[in-house]
Amino acid sequence: MDVRLATRDDLYRIAELTRLLTVHMGAYEWEVENHLKHVTRRFNNSRYIHIVAVADGKVIAFTGAELKSGKSAYMFKGFVEEAYRRRGVMRVMEARLIEILRERGVNKIDLLVDTDNPEGRSTWIALGYKTIRETMRKYI
Ligand SMILES: CC(C)(COP(=O)(O)OP(=O)(O)OC[C@H]1O[C@@H](n2cnc3c(N)ncnc32)[C@H](O)[C@@H]1OP(=O)(O)O)[C@@H](O)C(=O)NCCC(=O)NCCS
């Protein structure tokens, strides 16, 4: 497996994986082309860093982060294709992302995870993230 910074050629595949992520999260389903516009806008903005993992000749996972003011960054929800999960792909991508963020002076990463996403929560806990705040909601 190769983990590297995304290039422009990866954007369509990142958009496809982003669509799978939104389906997985039960969110509103955009077409790949809509995700591509969003992903391309971010890619063209130097505040965003995109990381991909390549295995068997194709991009099988992505993650990334947005540089925030001060020394902090906000990590995207990542996605690893189902067939490649639990093999340390996110662990390696996150480590690479941290290297890049440290080089840019970042010393703190925030992320959001849904309470009903146990695999997401377990992953971030395993990678050293701690809950610092909880969002509450009431349907009315
Ligand atoms: C969450 C996700 C990105 C994890 O990617 P992954 O490459 O499978 O994660 P890794 O193999 O690097 O796992 C690292 C550690 O996280 C924990 N972990 C990962 N998936 C887990 C699961 N399903 N259940 C329990 N712990 C899990 C483990 O401690 C694991 O280490 P171990 O396998 O040595 O025990 C992947 O499951 C995924 O894409 N899920 C769908 C999208 C999603 O929920 N994204 C996160 C949104 S916040």
Residue ranges per structural domain of the chain? 2-111
The model carries a pTM of: 0.96
Reduce the DSSP state of residue 84 to 3 states and report it. Answer: helix
Q: Is the pLDDT of residue 20 over 90?
A: yes
- Give 140 Cα–ligand 1 centroid separation in angstroms: 33
Which ligand 1 atom is the nearest neighbour of the CA of 93? 12
Tokens 């009431």: give the residue.
138
- Give 116 Cα–ligand 1 centroid separation in angstroms: 14
What string of DSSP letters covers 127-139? TT-----------
The CA distance from 112 to 99, in Å, is 21
2-111, superfamily in CATH? Gcn5-related N-acetyltransferase (GNAT) (3.40.630.30)
Q: For residue range 92-120, what is the model confidence (pLDDT) as tens digits? A: 999 999 999 999 999 999 999 999 999 99
Q: Where are the beta strands (DSSP E) in 68-136?
A: 72-75, 79-80, 108-110
The dihedral over CA atoms of 48, 53, 59, 65, expressed in degrees to the nearest 10, equals -20
Tell me, using a 6 A CB cutoff, whether residue 87 lines ligand 1. Answer: yes
Tokens 């958009």: give the residue.
15
| E strand or H helix that includes residue 65 | strand 58-67
- Give 74 Cα–ligand 1 centroid separation in angstroms: 19
Token pair listed for 49: 């860093």
- 25 falls in which pLDDT band (50, 70, 90)? confident
